Amino acid sequence: MEYLLHILILIGIYVIAGVSLNLVCGYTGLLSIAHAAFYGVGAYAAALLGLRFHTPFAVSLAAGIVSAMILGVIVGAPSLRLHEDYFVIATFGFQVITYSVMNNWVSFTGGPLGLPGIPQPVVFGMRISSHWGFLALTWALAALVFVFARTLVRSPFGRVLRAVREDEVLAQSLGKDVARQKMTIFVVGAGLAAIAGCIYAWYITFIDPTSFTVQESIFMLAIVILGGPGNLWGSVLGAVFLVSVPEMLRFVGMPSSIAANMRQILYGLALVLLMMFRPQGLIGEYELRGK
Amino acid sequence: MPTQVVANGVIAASAYALIGVSFALIYRVARFFHIAHGVIFTAGAYCVFLCQVFLGLPLAVCIPLAAFSCASFGAVTELMLFAPLRRRGASPAILLLASLGTYVVMQNLISLLFGNDMKALRVGPPTEGVPILGARVTPVQLATLCTALLLVLAVAGVLRCTDTGRAVRAVADDAELAKAAGVDSDRVILWTFAVASALVGVAGVLVAMDVGMTPTMGLAALRMGVGAALGGGVGSVGGVALGALVLGMAQHLGAWKTAAQWQDTIAFGLLLLFLLVRPQGVLGRPLRKVTV
């Protein structure tokens, strides 16, 4: 039972991450491989504040979101000016730099040893420490993020995002401030990803840079693409699928030494097959199709 | 500044130049970021390892075998993956993701087959290195420098002076137009993939002989190659070589002046700076799709 709860909590975390990336990638067409950096910043913010200052839950969460949004501005400002491939490479660069900082700024982040013993959050006077508690917290936040995203997407702002995705120049010629919209959604996506990171830090109570690498960004991208870019429920499906299927590999009797690699192979294959046969994912409305 | 740092920078730059030039070839001709190029780099090294350790073949046989294998890998991925996608009108984003997926699958296959530990290739007894102008350069490093130089010059020469090179440049400019002029664009792209993959495979072998190899080394190497290509200008072989030189020097100077663990950050920061300030590179022509 505990195991099932654990899986559900992880799914919840990745639903948040997936939805946030979907806003940026699926709805606006910005292929970003930097998302794990924002996720990681949220985690590190929550961890550091919790460890050093024992700040309350709301403060840590807000700090995580704000830190990620600041990083979002730093990454977005130079990168969003670039088109397509160059944008991807730029986000890749920032992801690597962020990881490098996490790994090498030992005095601040603990470096490769990570930050152990992160205090668990206290929400409305109750300390969240059991699996059930985290399940409730994770899915409550996931629901909030989902509703927020859905409101955003159904708003006029959301329509502009889709216009940007379909034809950026046309959107601009119709008077939409494309640059600002892209920056806004990029920063919002970063902030939402941080929420997932905070939950991760509180749940596992230990973080280190290896959880926030390019592979993690690719995993989040796979969730969005598998579920369907441009469809929020798709991100939920994607998260469910990509978190639970590798776990099922465990029961097939695969030795743990090769499980990690097999999992990665699964993601890679999923990406390739999706691109070949179903670029719109399971239930997506957007196909990443060429111009 | 000590000549050793300069020497290290130049040697690193030669590898980056080879990776960058081969990457740029594919990028110009097939128009997308072929991330899996990084794992072909790794595959080259591991092919030699396989031949040397399991088949007991001498190095002189292993290396051409590895180059051929890499060329095949490249050609196969183009034939089975990118060409069909291109025919269906896939965007560069889709091709990039397909390449990314391929990278992940291949890298993990290498991990599964060979393990994640660092391996080394047998090149002979470890030597102290030849002293050149106050710096010590090992025979492998010297070989890297010479091989890379030769291959890069060869590529430049072929592109500029031969009919094949002209065909490649035509396809790079405008594949449809080239087809109309009688160039078999698809075949040009296929051969470009094969040659570029062989080149990057050789680069992988050279680097592995110098510092050893791990399954994940391809991504870091690709970063440098892409940095060199973007920084120097994708359209010009000389530009890429220049970019590689700058990157190699910056990396080693940075490591010497600050601390070794920041060298990746410095290198990548430089790449980003290039992207922002001059996306077409120092010697490149402006690319159509760079800014809005």
Q: Please indicate whether, in this complex, the C-beta atoms of B289 and A275 are within 8 angstroms of each other.
A: no
Residue B292 lies in a domain: no
B268 and A93 within 8 Å at the Cβ level: the answer is yes
Q: How far is B202 from B196, CA to CA, in rounded Å?
A: 10
| Residue B14 exposure: Cα atoms within 13 Å on the Cβ side | 22
Tokens of B242: 């220049």
Is residue B289 situated within a structural domain? no
Residue pair A178/A164 in contact (Cβ under 8 Å)? The answer is: yes
pLDDT per residue as tens digits for the range B98-157: 998 999 999 999 999 998 888 888 777 777 677 777 778 888 888 899 999 999 999 999
> Is B144 within a domain?
yes
Note whether B275 contacts A86, CB cutoff 8 Å. yes
Query: What average pLDDT does this structure show over B54-72?
Result: 89
CATH of the domain at B37: 1.10.3470
Domain assignment present for residue B287? The answer is no
Q: Residue A290 domain-assigned?
A: no
A contact residues 30-69, partner B, Cβ 8 Å cutoff = 31
Please report, in tens digits, the pLDDT of each residue of chain A (291 residues total).
788 888 999 999 999 999 999 999 888 888 898 999 999 999 999 999 888 888 888 888 999 999 999 999 998 888 888 777 778 878 888 888 898 888 888 888 888 888 888 888 888 878 878 888 889 999 999 999 999 999 999 998 888 888 888 887 888 888 878 888 889 999 999 999 999 999 999 999 899 898 898 888 988 988 888 888 888 998 999 999 888 887 777 677 667 777 778 888 888 888 898 888 887 777 777 665 543
Number of A to B CB contacts under 8 A, please give it: 145
pLDDT value of position B282: 55
- Tell me if A289 and B268 make a contact (CB, 8 A cut-off): no
Residue B289 has pLDDT above 50, yes or no: no
d(CA A130, CA B185): 61
Q: Is the pLDDT of residue B249 over 90?
A: no
Q: Closest Cα partner for A20 from A235, A207, A244, A288?
A: A235
Which residue range is the domain that position A81 belongs to?
Answer: 2-212
SS3 A123: strand
Residues of chain B in contact with residue A103, where contact means CB-CB under 8 angstroms, are 261
Task: Please name the helix (run of DSSP H) or strand (run of DSSP E) that holds residue B130, with its range, or none.
Answer: strand B130-132
Query: Count of domains in chain B?
Result: 1
Q: Is residue B50 part of a domain?
A: yes
Residue A249 lies in a domain: no
pTM above 0.80, yes or no: yes
User: For residue B129, which phi and psi values (nearest 5 degrees)?
Assistant: 100, 150
Query: A189-213 pLDDT, tens per residue?
Result: 999 999 999 999 999 989 989 889 8
- Which of B37, B36, B17, B1 has the alpha carbon at shortest distance from B196? B37
Percent of the residues in chain B that have a pLDDT greater than 70, as a whole number: 93
Whether B60 is covered by a domain: the verdict is yes
Is residue B288 domain-resident?
no
Partner B contacted by A112 (CB < 8 A): no
Of B222, B263, B240, B247, the C-alpha closest to B43 is: B222
Task: Decide if A262 is inside a domain.
Answer: no
Report if residue B59 sits inside a domain.
yes
The whole-number pLDDT of residue A213 equals 87
CB atoms within 10 A of CB A116: 13
Domain count, chain A: 1
CA-to-CA dists, residue A216 to A76, A174, A221, A261, angstroms: 19, 37, 9, 14
Enumerate the residues of chain A whose CB falls inside 8 A of the CB of residue B265. Answer: 96-97, 100-101, 104
Chain B residues with CB-CB distance to A268 below 8 A: 100-106, 108
Mean confidence (pLDDT) of chain B: 85
What residue numbers bound the domain in which B226 lies? 3-277
Specify if A244 maps to a domain.
no
